[in-house]
C-alpha cells in the first residue's frame, strides 16, 4: 500500500526491517542507546559491533532525550545509516506521549535529510516494549511523516514502514487509508 505526496511516497511492508535495503534505517532505541530487545536487538545483531562502538563515541551526556534521535553508520546492514530514535513509553496518554512520538519521527527525518538519504525505513516506534497502543500510534506516525514530506524541503523521497507482524501492518493500513481519505 502506498500514498503519494508530490514527488514523495509513504509505503507499508510487512517484514523484518534489517532485510530491507534503504539509505537510512530507523531504530526504536532507548535513551541510553545501549541496545535492547525488539527491533533494537535485531538491528544491532544484524549491523554488528561497529554500531555500538560509534554510539559509545557519540552518546550525548545524559543520553538521547525522548522524542529525539542520533545517527550512526549502518555496519553490515543493507543501508548507509542507522538513525536511533527514542519514542515515549506509554503512560496512559496524559504525559505528552503523542507529541513525543511525532517528534521521534520528525527528528529522524531531519537527520535523514542531513545525510542526504532518499529512502528511509521505519519500524513502528514505541508499540512494542514501550506499550503505545497501535491504533493510536499508527495515525501519529503516518501523520508525522506525511507532514514532513509535504512541508519540508528535504532529500527524503521514499519512506517505508516495515511492520513486523500482521496486526501492526493492519493498524498502519487502516491509518493510511484514513489519511488518504482525509
Q: Which stretch binds ligand AR6 (CB under 6 A): 5-13, 50-58, 158-166, 171-179?
A: 158-166
Is 23 known to be catalytic? no
Q: Which of residues 62-121 bind ligand AR6 (CB under 6 A)?
A: 87
Q: Which stretch binds ligand AR6 (CB under 6 A): 27-35, 51-59, 137-145, 153-161?
A: 27-35
Number of residues assigned to the chain? 182
- Whole-angstrom Cα Rg for the chain: 15
What would the grid cell of residue 39 be?
527491533
Q: What angle in degrees, to the nearest 10, is found between the helix axes of 134-151 and 97-114?
A: 40
Binding flag, residue 37, ligand AR6 (CB under 6 A): yes
Please list the alpha-helical segments (H only) found in 1-49.
38-47
Please select the residue that binds ligand AR6; options are 10, 39, 55, 69, rule is CB under 6 A: 39
Residues in contact with ligand AR6 by the rule CB under 6 A: 16-18, 28-30, 36-40, 42, 87, 123-130, 162, 164-165, 168
Q: Write out the catalytic residue numbers.
A: 40
Amino acid at each position: 500500500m502506498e500514498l503519494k505526496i508530490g514527488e514523495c511516497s509513504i509505503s507499508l511492508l510487512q517484514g523484518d526491517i534489517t532485510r530491507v535495503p534503504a539509505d537510512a534505517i530507523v531504530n526504536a532505541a532507548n535513551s541510553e542507546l545501549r541496545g535492547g530487545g525488539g527491533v533494537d536487538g535485531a538491528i544491532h545483531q544484524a549491523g554488528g559491533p561497529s554500531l555500538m562502538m560509534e554510539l559509545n563515541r557519540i552518546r550525548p551526556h545524559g543520553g538521547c532525550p525522548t522524542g529525539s534521535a542520533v545517527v550512526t553508520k549502518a555496519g553490515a546492514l543493507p543501508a548507509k545509516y542507522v538513525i536511533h530514535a527514542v519514542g515515549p513509553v506509554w503512560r496512559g496518554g496524559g504525559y505528552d506521549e503523542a507529541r513525543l512520538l511525532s517528534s521521534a519521527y520528525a527528528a529522524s527525518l531531519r537527520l535523514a535529510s542531513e545525510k542526504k538519504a532518499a529512502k528511509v525505513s521505519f519500524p513502528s516506534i514505541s508499540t512494542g516494549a514501550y506499550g503505545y497502543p497501535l491504533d493510536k500510534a499508527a495515525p501519529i506516525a503516518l501523520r508525522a511523516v506525511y507532514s514532513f514530506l509535504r512541508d519540508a524541503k528535504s532529500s527524503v523521497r521514499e519512506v517505508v514502514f516495515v511492520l513486523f507482524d500482521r496486526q501492526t501492518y493492519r493498524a498502519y493500513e487502516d491509518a493510511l487509508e484514513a489519511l488518504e481519505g482525509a
